[in-house]
Amino acid sequence: MAFSLWSFATKWYDLKPMAIMGDNYRCLHSPSRDFAPFLKPKSSFSSSILSLSVTRKLPRKTFQVNSVSVPTESVAGFDEMVSGTQRKYYMLGGKGGVGKTSCAASLAVKFANNGHPTLVVSTDPAHSLSDSFAQDLTGGRLVPVEGPISPLFALEINPEQAREEFRSASKSNGGTGVKDFMDGMGLGLIADQLGELKLGELLDTPPPGLDEAIAISKVIQFLESQEYNIFTRIIFDTAPTGHTLRLLSLPDFLDASIGKILKLRQKISSATSAIKSVFGQEENRPDSADKLEKLRERMIKVRELFRDTNSTEFVIVTIPTVMAINESSRLSASLRKESVPVKRLVVNQVLPASASDCKFCAMKRKDQTRALSMIESDPELSNLTMIQAPLVDVEIRGVPALQFLGDMIWK
């Protein structure tokens, strides 16, 4: 007896709408059967599902065919992604819910199984890495992921915790706590300026963009801190599009803002020295201009990293729906404007081929085919290497499942 949503629905819910879905899904070749034998039951609930699923192992070729032709001789396959020990950064982004986390986690597992000590970082304030790896990764620090051959660590940047620390830091020691906290994040230079400009009090309510600033501070740490030296692949599971674009443009914005502050300071300082020289006072210049200049250099480094085609790649993840593809097109245009390198487009959740489509699947397939053809005619997307990933009929959770998904996507 093979597992399908049909059996799941009738066994657990006895819901008619699910039964319709189940009937429709039954007509698919289910890729999930292939990885089911590797899954470890987590509870009696899942083990009863798995006992239904391990019965038949289909040969892989059964579900390799997709509804729309894929550029299989892709210009850049996984071989290119895995080659070299120089560190590479991969950022996976797209519309909410399309499978960014699943794709990012599966890529991380694949890299780690191919000899790369890998770090996967979630910059999405609504993390789902823990769910994806079926492991508790909360706490805002590096956590080892069990399973892959080479070391794989995950980090969920915890903006809520950071915000909370920020709030209490800005209250403690008349504002000096802000500096301690920001020092801890590698943003001490900003804190100096905040202290000087007496902005500490204003930061009781964290400013918009703090999540992105925290993520940037992590990138700075990856670049500069010894702790991260071992990682040859760093993958970012990014937040949905809007957040991510803010993250990518923040270094530019900060660089420009710092430039303006520096100019302003220069003007003020020459006016002040003129006054001071009139009154014969000794000039006592703080070194904060230097610090600002250093901060600016760091922002330039991050900005260059985001644009470096040798070390960085942004992978757009989408699903075959008109709405998701339109958003991906806009994302691609924005990334191009920001000069962020993009080569690949993962189209996730494509219905696997079936010899006998039911009415629901036939409709769905038609819809997906139309959406996929939009990609081919979209000026922002058509030049990207398209990778199709099939929709599977169980949730992708845990390293074995991610390994299975990764082997289908990253080839």
Interacting residues toward ligand ATP by CB under 6 A: 96-102, 124, 128, 240, 348-349, 389, 391-392, 395-396
CB of 258 to ligand ATP, least distance (A): 32
Task: Say how far apart CA 140 and CA 3 lie, in whole Å.
Answer: 37
Instruction: Quote the Cα angle for 68-71-74, to 5°.
Output: 155
Task: Say how far apart CA 10 and CA 5 lie, in whole Å.
Answer: 8
Strands 152-156, 143-144: pairing kind: antiparallel
Q: Which is nearer to ligand ATP, 165 or 327 (CB)?
A: 327
Here the tokens at position 92 are: 């996976």
Q: Which is nearer to ligand ATP, 389 or 399 (CB)?
A: 389
Q: 124 catalytic, yes or no? A: yes
CA atoms within 13 A on the CB side of 111: 30
Closest CA to 81 of 120, 121, 108, 100: 108
Task: Say how far apart CA 355 and CA 202 lie, in whole Å.
Answer: 63
CB of 408 to ligand ATP, least distance (A): 8
- Per the residue annotation, which of 14, 23, 79, 124 is the catalytic one? 124
Is there a contact between 410 and 110 (Cβ–Cβ < 8 Å)?
A: yes
CB of 98 to ligand ATP, least distance (A): 5
Here the tokens at position 291 are: 């610090």
Q: Which is nearer to ligand ATP, 64 or 288 (CB)?
A: 64
Backbone angles phi, psi at 140, to 5 degrees: 70, 20
Q: Which is nearer to ligand ATP, 34 or 124 (CB)?
A: 124
Q: Which is nearer to ligand ATP, 10 or 66 (CB)?
A: 66
CB of 211 to ligand ATP, least distance (A): 14
CB of 254 to ligand ATP, least distance (A): 26
Task: Say how far apart CA 392 and CA 411 lie, in whole Å.
Answer: 18
Active site residues: 124
